[in-house]
């Protein structure tokens, strides 16, 4: 057994690392698991009904811990979380999604649906919103890709792109969307739509909408209402069902800069999900989608890192089947994204909207790559980064 800071490695067969919580502080809300909140490396805290609490550690992956919870601890924690979210526990409520006072996301499954006892999963959020430069510095993308996404997010002031951020569970979609949102011009009116509030966008002109069970207001109802709110940007936390068609209707009726996250393993699968039930978007509507940005956890140089693995566009249609153009692809040997050389449609659209030649887009892209490079060295916080980006954008 070797000591790795707080985490101890058990060398037995099939065993997980043990995360040894040394300082057990108990607060009113979360009891003894509150100790896990002070370690920024812990991404997820899980209790499966029996046994010890498990955590997902950024470096060591899934770990068992030396903390166990009694059923009284678990019931108390759930009651407080449900009450904090303004809800009441009842026999008809067996599934619960909500937030904790620090903004973390909590999911609870109650017996008898959870066969071994109440299952709790907490997605911990970093105390600070990561900037695009934090993501560059941690290897999610390089400076050029970051500058390209900046140009697409603000559309150089004329033609912001419609983008889906796609990837597997916990691949970093929401974190990427939050970070890139800092490229949206500060004067934009943003409306966000979510089941559980996870989007963190430091704007003054933002309306945050959340679904509700009682009265029943779902994502699709919120999206259709949003169209009457004069939004400059519509951002959907997680696209899952009928709201996807409304989102594509918005894109097709001239709303630009619409964005959302979606669960899928590659760009082709993203399209398949969008055009099939329950989303059921007619494939002809896909022409309004400018980019699919894929993100995944990959082993890069022996380290599990979140990376953008692909940036694709809907290039056209062959017999109603959308053709995907991959403009950036992940080079496994170099461990980074590289430009494929396929001409980008959004580059052409932004250039046309700005009344300039595509070569001017390339010049601005190079200039912005330099700006990002400098900002990444300065390691600014969110407000410093936003100010610098708005100044560099010039609008
Ligand atoms: N680039 C990153 N560097 C460090 N931590 C990250 C990074 N991206 C994401 N994380 C952390 O990983 C966890 C999952 O990230 P996130 O919520 O963005 O994933 P997701 O793909 O949106 O997940 P879900 O599928 O559940 O919606 C969070 O704790 C987040 O803080
Ligand atoms: Mg997410």
Residue 175 Cβ inside 6 Å of ligand 1? The answer reads: yes
Residue 140 Cβ inside 6 Å of ligand 1? The answer reads: yes
The overall average pLDDT reported for the chain is 90
Banded pLDDT at 14 (limits 50, 70, 90): low
Ligand nearest 295 Cα, by number?
A: 1
List where CATH 3.30.450.370 sits in the chain: 2-123
Indicate the burial class of 355 (C-beta count within 10 angstroms; 0-12, 13-18, 19 or more): exposed
Atom 7 (ligand 1): residue with closest C-alpha? 172
Place of tokens 């109440």: 118
Banded pLDDT at 93 (limits 50, 70, 90): confident
What distance in angstroms lies between residue 72's CA and the mean position of ligand 2's atoms? Answer: 30
**Residues in the chain, total:** 395
What is the tens place of the pLDDT at every residue in 162-198? 999 999 999 999 999 999 999 999 889 999 999 988 8
Whose CA is closest to 266, among 298, 332, 316, 310?
Answer: 310
Whose CA is closest to 190, among 178, 171, 204?
Answer: 204
Pick the CATH number of 132-393 from 3.40.50.150, 3.40.50.20, 3.40.50.300, 3.40.1410.10: 3.40.50.300
- Judge: domain 2-123, CATH 3.40.50.2300: no
Place of tokens 């017999």: 319
Mutate to test the pocket of ligand 1, among 55, 59, 174 (most ligand atoms within 8 A of CB): 174
Note the pLDDT of residue 2.
33
Note the pLDDT of residue 15.
62
Residue 90 scores a pLDDT above 70: yes
| Encoded tokens for 382 | 């969110």
Residue 51 scores a pLDDT above 90: no
Residue 126 Cβ inside 6 Å of ligand 1? The answer reads: yes
What is the tens place of the pLDDT at every residue in 318-364? 888 899 999 999 998 888 899 999 999 999 999 999 999 999 999 99
Residue 11 scores a pLDDT above 50: no
What distance in angstroms lies between residue 21's CA and the mean position of ligand 2's atoms? Answer: 27
Partners of 97 in beta bridges = 107
List where CATH 3.40.50.300 sits in the chain: 132-393
């Amino acid at each position: 057994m070797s000591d790795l800071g707080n985490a101890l490695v058990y060398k037995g067969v099939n065993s997980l690392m043990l995360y040894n919580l040394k300082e057990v502080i108990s607060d009113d809300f979360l009891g003894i698991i509150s100790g896990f909140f002070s370690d920024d490396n812990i991404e997820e805290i899980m209790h499966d009904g029996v046994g010890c609490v498990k955590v997902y550690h950024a470096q060591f992956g899934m770990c068992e811990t030396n903390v166990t919870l009694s059923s009284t601890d678990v019931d108390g924690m759930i009651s407080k979380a449900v009450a904090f979210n303004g809800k009441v526990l009842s026999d008809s409520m067996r599934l619960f999604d909500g937030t904790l006072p620090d903004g973390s996301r909590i999911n609870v499954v109650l017996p008898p649906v959870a066969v071994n006892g109440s299952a709790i999963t907490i997605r911990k959020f970093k105390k600070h919103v990561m900037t695009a430069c934090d993501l560059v510095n941690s290897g999610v993308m390089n400076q050029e890709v970051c500058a390209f996404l900046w140009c697409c997010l603000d559309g150089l002031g004329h033609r912001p792109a419609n983008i889906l951020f796609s990837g597997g569970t916990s691949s970093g979609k929401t974190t990427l969307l939050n970070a890139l949102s800092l490229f949206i011009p500060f004067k934009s009116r943003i409306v966000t739509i979510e089941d559980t509030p996870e989007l963190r966008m430091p704007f003054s002109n933002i309306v945050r909408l959340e679904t509700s069970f009682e009265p029943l207001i779902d994502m699709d109802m919120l999206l259709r209402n949003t169209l009457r709110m004069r939004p400059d940007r519509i951002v959907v936390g997680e696209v899952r069902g009928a709201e996807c068609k409304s989102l594509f209707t918005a894109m097709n009726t001239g709303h630009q800069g619409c964005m959302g996250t979606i669960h899928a393993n590659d760009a082709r699968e993203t399209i398949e999900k969008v055009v099939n039930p329950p989303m059921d978007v007619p494939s002809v509507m896909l022409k309004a989608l400018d980019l699919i940005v894929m993100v995944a956890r990959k082993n890069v140089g022996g380290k599990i890192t979140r990376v953008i693995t692909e940036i694709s566009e809907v290039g056209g249609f062959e017999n109603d089947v959308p053709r995907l153009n991959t403009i950036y692809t992940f080079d496994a040997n170099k461990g980074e994204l590289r430009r494929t050389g396929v001409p980008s449609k959004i580059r052409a659209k932004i250039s046309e909207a700005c009344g300039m030649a595509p070569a001017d887009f390339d010049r601005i892209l190079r200039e912005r790559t330099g700006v990002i490079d400098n900002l990444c060295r300065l390691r600014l916080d969110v407000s410093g980064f936003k100010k610098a980006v708005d100044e560099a954008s010039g609008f």
